[in-house]
Amino acid sequence: MQSANHKFEDLASSLNGNLILPSDAAYNQARQVWNGRIDKHPAVIVRCADAQDVIYTVRWALSKGLKLSVRGGGNDFAGRSLCDDGVVVDCSQMTAVSIDPQMCTARAQGGATIAHLIDAAHKYGLVTATGVMSGVGLGGLTLGGGYGPLLGKLGLVADNLLSAQVVTASGELLTASETEHPELYWGLRGGGGNFGVVVSLEYRLYPISEVLSGSLLYTLDQAGTFLQLFSEFLKTAPDELTIPGGIIQMPDGTPMLLLAPTYCGPLDDGEKVLGSLRKLAKPQVDQIQPVAYNALIRVFDALSPTGLRRSVQTQSLDTLRIETIEILIEQARQFSSPFSALLFHNFHGAASRVPVSSTAFGLRQDHLMVEIIGTWEKQSEDEDQMHAQWVYKTSHALAPYSLPGGYVNLLDETEQARIPLAFGPNYQRLVELKRTYDADDVFNSTIGHVSPGFVNHEVESMGV
């Protein structure tokens, strides 16, 4: 264990992990997250080795009256996993995953990423619902809901959470499940990380090892007519087919419409279903093929490197109308940087059939969740403003056609009014749950506080 200055000696002496202080060579790297715009300076970063480290750190910070924040995988767009002049409970080294192939379950530590889980499960021909990029932390993803390419068949990532171990604001380790602290278990599935530090998560697994998936690319000139047909196609798509997509830019700067259909049923059936999709318009590029699921999740990692500067907004559309299609195409023609993108996530099937009151996640009707992602390299404050303005302009243009609220993992500090709308009929129940488990608002590195609003402590973007 490295030495700590006098202020933190009693904390350091009780840890199995280690401290990272502003004077340490590792400090600047340790305080970096996915979004390069985030520039916070914690008083100390506690690299926890286990749940006991988390318990002790929470208790120690509270005894000193210091602010707390929680870092898992670090795929954080809003900077809520860090706090200025406070204590960061850093679980990023807690990445162990264990698989029970007989029970078809997985248990992952609180800092594990999608890659850690899917690689471990793949050895047994098993999988669970995940986001779309391998480096996203499971904790933040699950707590906010978790969209992904198996959503139509398996539901949200949160829908597959069987139990979780949580260190509460009092420093107590609780297990939340259907039979233990069931109300907390309800809130963890889509209600955000407002109730404590999740140090382990147990998931349901399924016998899927290979899927039919890949990229279909269309020109922007094709997009207008095609997206109208595509919107109708989605209404009858089987549960086994989920189609994330969006408008991205090619290396030469040309915007193109991308679909990434994933079929998780029998491959022959998938070929027939995707044949119907291909008939809507001839793609310029067709890379659909059988692929191992853990390989699929790494395909789009290159679209989202850590450290670039970002601004993100979200809107959810019940369908693709002519008006919203026109907005998406027009805003794609005005991309402010070569790295920006408009992504959408297909919510349907099993995820839509979960009653809204069964989990904290507030939007259970079929929809497309749109991520508006401005991404750029460091330049000047004026440049930052220009790129962020493109994001806000696009979001504002879509807002009149969007469902209330938004995806809680992608709401920023300026959007407090959208939080009750995002949770819908579950909001008041979540407020009461917050008062039960964290009445003093210890885990308040969020949007708002107990009242009028809150969201999770670490927001996982690009991996929803």
Q: What is the pLDDT of residues 63-117, one digit of tens each?
A: 999 999 999 988 888 888 999 999 999 999 999 999 999 999 999 999 999 999 9
Q: Does 38 share its domain with 178?
A: no
Any domain includes 451: no
Q: Does 255 share its domain with 315?
A: yes
Any domain includes 444: no
Q: Does 279 share its domain with 342?
A: yes
Q: What is the pLDDT of residues 151-166, one digit of tens each?
A: 999 999 999 999 999 9
- Mean pLDDT for the stretch of residues 277-292: 97
pLDDT band of 444, cuts 50, 70, 90: low
The Cα 433–Cα 431 span in angstroms is 5
- CATH code for the domain in which residue 356 is found: 3.40.462.20
- CATH code for the domain in which residue 43 is found: 3.30.43.10
- Does the predicted model carry a pTM greater than 0.85? yes
385 vs 449 pLDDT, higher one: 385
The Cα 445–Cα 457 span in angstroms is 6
Beta bridge mates, 203: 106, 161
Are the CB atoms for 30 and 37 separated by under 8 Å?
no
Tell how far CA 262 is from the center of its chain.
19
Q: What is the pLDDT of residues 124-141, one digit of tens each?
A: 999 999 999 999 999 999
Which amino acid makes up residue 111? G
Q: What is the pLDDT of residues 223-242, one digit of tens each?
A: 999 999 999 999 999 999 99
Any domain includes 460: no
The Cα 147–Cα 370 span in angstroms is 11
Q: What is the pLDDT of residues 287-325, one digit of tens each?
A: 999 999 999 999 988 878 888 999 999 999 999 999 999
Q: Does 243 share its domain with 289?
A: yes
Domain count, the chain: 3
Q: Does 392 share its domain with 421?
A: no
Q: Does 121 share its domain with 232?
A: no
The Cα 419–Cα 404 span in angstroms is 10
Give yes or no for residue 456 having a pLDDT over 50. no
Q: Which of 41, 61, 90 is the last residue of a domain?
A: 90
Q: Which of 34, 59, 90 is the last residue of a domain?
A: 90
Of the candidates 341, 333, 337, the residue with the CA atom closest to the CA atom of residue 383: 337
Q: Does 258 share its domain with 214?
A: yes
Q: Does 432 share its domain with 402?
A: no
CA distances from 454 to 124, 349, 358, 409, 418 (A): 39, 28, 20, 11, 10
Domain assignment of residue 333, given as a range? 210-410
Q: Which of 71, 90, 109 is the last residue of a domain?
A: 90
What value does the CA radius of gyration of the chain take, rounded to a whole number of Å? 21
Q: Indicate the helix (H) or strand (E) that contains 73.
A: none
- CATH code for the domain in which residue 187 is found: 3.30.465.10
pLDDT at 458: 43
Q: Does 355 share its domain with 367?
A: yes
Q: Does 311 share its domain with 341?
A: yes
Please report how many Cα atoms fall inside a 13 Å half-sphere around the Cα of residue 445, on the Cβ side.
Answer: 27
Any domain includes 453: no
Q: Does 243 share its domain with 382?
A: yes
